[in-house]
Structure 1
Amino acid sequence: MVIKKTEAKDAYELIIEAIDEGAYQPGDRLVEAELADRFGVSRTPIREALQRLETQSFLKRDGRSLMVATLDHNQIGELYTVRAELEGLAAFLAAQHAAPEEIRVLFNMIENDRRLVDDPNALSRSNRRFHNQLHLASHNNFLIKQLQQVHRTMALLGATSLAADGRGEAALNEHYEIVQAIERKDGESARDALKTHLSFAFETRLKIDAGELSVIS
């Protein structure tokens, strides 16, 4: 399928988005000509985008080929640690600055997501939108930009932890607790609830990797 390039997205953004949506998994090879055909752009911007992604460690080289990078055990732990601190801060700031309309949107997203618990891929996409909306509610542009980079790197983890049996419903309940704390303007509780949420997500991912949990196929 050819995806036509829009004016708002360059080759870099298109490749990042494809990785983020799971079109390319960690370990998959990225071929310049195939990407150009897929996105309907010339090979020059694709080549430049691949070089940029390699510099940012999203891609790794295997001989002459470029592959989507894979995170090792320690890197996964490091990523969750950074994400928990930054996103915990976002929740804390959201409790101070989020408008009532933003809070209602977050609550509505949670309720809509309850219909997706049996579709982990759809729930994962919606989960990213929820977390992005929470970041925006912090009203701190510098923090938002840092979290965008962290969440892009999360795509290198591959399959979502929301595919674990029972994790989807639990995650939504955790989202609800976070937003409740934001609504109460209780920044510390919002931060704690967010960090607990990510701790459970990290633990679930470790259990999946260890073969201790079944996943929804």
Structure 2
Amino acid sequence: MSDDQELSQGGIAFAKLMSAIEAGEFRPGDRLRETDIAERLSLSRTPVREALRRLEAERIVEHRPRIGAVIRTLGQTEVVELYEMRLVLERTAAEMAAKHASAAEVDALFAINDEIAAATNAPSRAAAINQRFHRSIYLAARNRFLLESARALNNALLLLGPTTLADEARITTVVGQHGLIIEAISQADIDAAGATAEAHLQTSLRHRLSLMRS
């Protein structure tokens, strides 16, 4: 196999591993054994090793003596710091979306929120749709630098562990808060958009911390 082919296989291994982590197939604290992953992805160990090195460089994975590659686990302080940054970015995104969002984008946000509401018995699906909802707000903000800043947090978000959208009551709360954000954006109410986005993140943080304590 040529170097280019090996590099391509490493890229494939990385993409597949990232998808598995995003889907919750691998969770924070899980050990990633080269042989197991190679067999699971039908790849040789060399590209898997390359993918694990890349995950380590991006601080998704850490190497522990006598154990090997393990998906990082965030402590409470890191979780709070992560949500503080999310709060700043998502408040800004909602405010800018209130300035720039088109009617079609607002309609799309309402539709995505309805999809979350319908996924009460599928936490993983609800979480994936929820990510699409927030990404849509960033896109509606019309600011490439804000979008890049949000993407920089994506790896850390993968380390939060299981979704908080695990029951109907929680999904109902999230859908209701999303509705307030969308309504503010649709009315071009910049202050309300920012305030409702901030309130939403504060609620999410409190719920996340309660799960960590349980």
TM-score range relative to shorter protein: 0.7 to 0.9
82-91 or 115-124, which deviates more: 115-124
99-108 or 138-147, which deviates more: 138-147
Which SS does the other structure have where 1:50 is aligned? helix
Unaligned runs of 5+ in 2: 1-7
| Deviation sequence 1:26-83 (CA, Å, 0-9, x none) | 1111122332333344433322221121122111112251000000010000000001
1:149 is displaced (CA, Å) by 2.7
Q: Kindly tell me the number of residue pairs found equivalent between the two proteins.
A: 205
State the partner residue of 1:3.
Answer: none
| Deviation sequence 1:133-152 (CA, Å, 0-9, x none) | 11111121222122123133
State the partner residue of 1:153.
Answer: 156
Distance 1:193 1:146 in 2: 21
Task: Please give the TM-score of this superposition, normalised by the length of structure 2.
Answer: 0.88
Which SS does the other structure have where 1:101 is aligned? helix
| Deviation sequence 1:149-190 (CA, Å, 0-9, x none) | 313311211111222561110000001111111111112211
Distance 1:19 1:184 in 2: 37
Identify which of 80, 91, 99 aligns with 1:77. Answer: 80
Identify which of 162, 166, 169 aligns with 2:172. Answer: 169
Larger Cα-atom Rg: 2
Mapped pair 1:202 → 2:205:
yes
RMSD of aligned Cα (Å) = 2.0
1:16-165 matches, cutoff 5 A? 16-64=18-66, 65-163=68-166
Distance 1:43 1:191 in 2: 47
Quick one: which amino acid aligns to residue 158 of structure 1? G
Retained in 2: the 8 A contact 1:164–1:204? no
Retained in 2: the 8 A contact 1:16–1:152? no
Distance 2:190 2:117 in 1: 25
67-76 or 35-44, which deviates more: 35-44
38-47 or 150-159, which deviates more: 38-47
Retained in 2: the 8 A contact 1:120–1:162? yes
Retained in 1: the 8 A contact 2:121–2:168? no
Quick one: which amino acid aligns to residue 98 of structure 1? A
CA change 1:144–1:39 in 2 (3 A) is farther
CA change 1:187–1:11 in 2 (3 A) is farther
CA change 1:80–1:39 in 2 (3 A) is same
